[in-house]
Amino acid sequence: MSDPTARLDEMLAKLRERHFRITPQRLAILETLAVSDGHPSVESVFAEVRKKFPTTSLATVYKTITLLKELNEVLELGFSDGSNRYDGSKPTPHPHMICTRCKKIIDPDLTSLEQLTREASQKTGFKIVTQRLDFFGICPECLQEKTSG
Amino acid sequence: MSDPTARLDEMLAKLRERHFRITPQRLAILETLAVSDGHPSVESVFAEVRKKFPTTSLATVYKTITLLKELNEVLELGFSDGSNRYDGSKPTPHPHMICTRCKKIIDPDLTSLEQLTREASQKTGFKIVTQRLDFFGICPECLQEKTSG
DNA sequence: CTTCATGCAAAACATTTGCAGCTGG
DNA sequence: CCAGCTGCAAATGTTTTGCATGAAG
């Protein structure tokens, strides 16, 4: 999708602009979020960052992600079962396709979402600020597997 | 939207069919979920049920709602901040308009959702099983208020 | 240097679970 | 009767918070 290096630079620029410090731990967290296109969980970010900085705490990962959310530099895909996932490569709200078998999450490009949003606004009188759209199902790869889970 | 009494009867029929017991507490929980069109939270269901049965425990409300979810007789609107809401009057997945100011949730009737789902399926090869769509914004009533929050 | 970030442990939440006693069918 | 339900309290799992130490700028 977007260039990971460019995204990392954008994130760093935003931090500097707001005078937040760029610590080694933060840099590692930003890198992980900017590079991964797999919508990582907090735990997987934590595990990744620990490879470089073994003393990093979970609290720091949470704090940094909270900061990035406030700066609109990461998109949180919250699920009520606590399996939250994060998208740092494309931080603006967009639809997701979620495979309920392998847990993969991909970003579809849907042209008719704009039309749907317009319809929703017209029919309800809401001033729509943002939206969240998830499709749940089975991805092509899992569909090919004979054995059903 | 749908007739509350009819919904309650459907829920009761499903419980009986599967040989689950209909206790006074359960009945009160079902009634609350079937009647309210305001997408109540667990706490508000609990508060409502307590009016009739003051000894009811939160655990029972949770257990009953979990049961109803498994029977597809209630739709859970989970939010990652823990402010989950429930829709017993229309238990099949459908879009929601959520006012971020007054927390009201209403059900829009969107004709172009089907088209969007088709597009998502075609472009990704997913076999789509269900979906979740929330629009966040300001409702007409809140828009009319002069003071901004 | 001064302020902000880190890391630890404890706290805070909503939700789930274990279990003794109760009760619907 | 007795399997399943209730209510209590304890456990769980994730996220947040307080605070002393450490490091970015």
d(CA B93, CA B91): 7
> Straight-line distance from CA B3 to C1' D10, in Å?
41
Give A37's Cβ-side CA count (13 Å radius).
Answer: 8
Domains and CATH numbers, chain B: 1-89 (1.10.10.10), 93-149 (3.30.1490.190)
* Both tokens assigned to A41: 């969980």
**Entry pTM:** 0.91
* pLDDT 10s digits, A57-66: 999 999 999 9
Determine whether the distance from the CB of B55 to the nearest atom of strand C is below 7 Å.
no
**pLDDT score for A147:** 62
Does an H or E element contain A63, and which?
helix A58-70
* B83-137 tens-digit pLDDT: 899 999 999 999 999 999 998 999 999 999 999 999 999 999 999 999 999 999 9
Other C-beta atoms within 10 Å of A24: how many? 11
Q: How far is the CA of A42 from the C1' of C3 (A)?
A: 27
Taking 70 as the threshold, does the pLDDT of residue B4 lie above it?
Answer: yes
pLDDT reading at B149 higher than 50: no
**What rounded mean pLDDT belongs to chain B?**
94
Contact residues, chain A, for B120 at CB < 8 Å: 95, 97, 108, 110, 135
Torsion over CA: B30, B36, B37, B40 (sign)? negative
**Chain A to chain B, count of Cβ pairs less than 8 Å apart?**
131
Q: Which residues of B touch A (CB under 8 A)?
A: 76, 78-82, 84, 95, 97, 99-100, 106, 108-113, 115-117, 119-121, 123-140, 143
B63 CB neighbours strand C below 7 A: yes
- pLDDT higher than 50, residue A149: no
Handedness of CA B43, B46, B50, B52 (dihedral sign): positive
Q: Which of B53, B66, B1 is nearest to B23 (CA)?
A: B53
CB pair distance less than 8 Å for B116 and A116:
yes
Extract long-range pairs of B47-56: CB within 8 Å, 24+ residues apart.
Answer: B49/B25, B52/B24, B52/B28, B53/B24, B53/B25, B53/B28, B56/B25, B56/B28
